[in-house]
Structure 1
Amino acid sequence: MSGSSAKSDISIRLLEIFDAIMRCGTTVEAAEQLGISQPAVSNGIRQLEAQTGVTLFERLHRRLQPTEEAVALHEDIKPVFGLLRGFASRAQDMRQGISGRLRVIATPPLGHTVAPIAMRRFLKDRKGVSVAYDVRRLEHVVEAVQSGNADLGLALGLDRHMAVNVEVLARTHMVAVLPKGQETDGNTVTAATLADSDFIGLEIESRLGQMVRSAFERDGAAYNPRVEVRYCATAAVLVAAGIANAVIDPYTAAFNRSIGIVERSFLPPIEVAAVLITRKGIPRSRLQHAFISEMRKALSDFETAGVRTSPVRSSRDDG
Structure 2
Amino acid sequence: MSLPFTLDQLEVFTLVLDTGSFSAAAHHLGVSQPAVSAQVRELERKLGTRLLERVGRSVGPTPAGVALAGHARALLESGRQAAEAVSSLAKGVSGTVRLGTGATACLHLLPPLLQRIRKEHPALHVVVSTGNTDDIVRQVELNALDLALVTLPVASRAVTVAPALRDEFVAVAPIGAEPLPAAVRARDLADIPMVLFEPGSNTRQQVESWLLAAGLRVRPAMELGSIEAIKEMVSAGLGCSILPAMAMRDADRKRLQTRPLKPALSRELGIVMRQDKPLTRGMQILAKAIMGQGV
**Structure 2 length as normaliser, TM-score?**
0.72
Distance 1:14 1:155 in 2: 27
Pair 1:99–1:176, CA change in 2 (3 A):
same
Distance 1:156 1:255 in 2: 23
Distance 2:12 2:201 in 1: 38
Q: Is the 8 A contact 1:17 1:30 kept in 2?
A: no
Distance 2:227 2:11 in 1: 43
Opposite residue 30 of structure 1, the aligned amino acid is: Q
Q: Is the 8 A contact 1:157 1:208 kept in 2?
A: no
Out of 56, 59, 62, the position equivalent to 1:69 is 56
The answer for the alignment partner of 1:106 in structure 2 is 101
**Shift of residue 175, structure 1, vs aligned partner:** 0.9
Q: Is the 8 A contact 1:113 1:255 kept in 2?
A: no
Opposite residue 110 of structure 1, the aligned amino acid is: A
Out of 203, 206, 216, the position equivalent to 1:211 is 206
Out of 257, 264, 284, the position equivalent to 1:262 is 257
Distance 1:255 1:141 in 2: 29
The answer for the alignment partner of 1:4 in structure 2 is none
Distance 1:23 1:282 in 2: 19
**Shift of residue 229, structure 1, vs aligned partner:** 1.9
The answer for the alignment partner of 2:151 in structure 1 is 156
Q: Is the 8 A contact 1:178 1:245 kept in 2?
A: yes
Distance 1:179 1:106 in 2: 29
Pair 1:34–1:266, CA change in 2 (3 A):
same
Pair 1:101–1:186, CA change in 2 (3 A):
same
Q: Is the 8 A contact 2:160 2:272 kept in 1?
A: yes
Opposite residue 145 of structure 1, the aligned amino acid is: V
The answer for the alignment partner of 2:22 in structure 1 is 20
Q: Within the alignment, does 1:142 sit opposite 2:145 as a pair?
A: no
Pair 1:195–1:152, CA change in 2 (3 A):
same
Opposite residue 57 of structure 2, the aligned amino acid is: A
Q: Percent identity?
A: 18
Q: Within the alignment, does 1:30 sit opposite 2:33 as a pair?
A: yes
The answer for the alignment partner of 2:5 in structure 1 is none
**Shift of residue 22, structure 1, vs aligned partner:** 4.8
**Shift of residue 249, structure 1, vs aligned partner:** 0.7
**Shift of residue 200, structure 1, vs aligned partner:** 1.0
Q: Aligned-pair RMSD on alpha carbons? A: 4.0
Deviations 1:93-140 (A, max 9, x none): x9xx99321111111121221122211111112121112111111112
Deviations 1:151-201 (A, max 9, x none): 110112326642311111122321111122225243222222222121112
Out of 221, 224, 227, the position equivalent to 2:222 is 227
**Structure 1 length as normaliser, TM-score?**
0.67
Q: Within the alignment, does 1:199 sit opposite 2:199 as a pair?
A: no
Aligned pairs, number: 260
**Shift of residue 222, structure 1, vs aligned partner:** 2.4
Q: Is the 8 A contact 1:236 1:256 kept in 2?
A: no
Q: Is the 8 A contact 2:198 2:225 kept in 1?
A: yes
Pair 1:220–1:129, CA change in 2 (3 A):
same
Out of 150, 173, 194, the position equivalent to 2:168 is 173
Deviations 1:56-75 (A, max 9, x none): 4xxxxxxxxxxx8133649x
Pair 1:141–1:183, CA change in 2 (3 A):
farther
Opposite residue 20 of structure 1, the aligned amino acid is: F
Q: Aligned to 1:188, what secondary structure does the other structure show?
A: coil
Structure 1 residue ranges without an equivalent (≥5) = 1-10, 57-67, 301-310, 312-319
The answer for the alignment partner of 2:232 in structure 1 is 237
Distance 2:263 2:166 in 1: 16
1:46-57 aligned at under 5 Å gives the runs 56=54
Pair 1:125–1:251, CA change in 2 (3 A):
same
Out of 281, 290, 298, the position equivalent to 2:285 is 290
Pair 1:12–1:103, CA change in 2 (3 A):
closer
**Shift of residue 279, structure 1, vs aligned partner:** 1.4
Q: Aligned to 1:244, what secondary structure does the other structure show?
A: coil
Distance 1:186 1:286 in 2: 47
**Shift of residue 142, structure 1, vs aligned partner:** 0.6
Opposite residue 260 of structure 1, the aligned amino acid is: R
**Shift of residue 255, structure 1, vs aligned partner:** 6.6
Out of 106, 122, 127, the position equivalent to 1:132 is 127
Runs of at least 4 residues of structure 1 off by over 4 A? Answer: 11-19, 22-25, 34-37
Distance 2:38 2:180 in 1: 67
Q: Aligned to 1:216, what secondary structure does the other structure show?
A: helix
Q: Aligned to 2:217, what secondary structure does the other structure show?
A: coil
Distance 1:114 1:14 in 2: 33
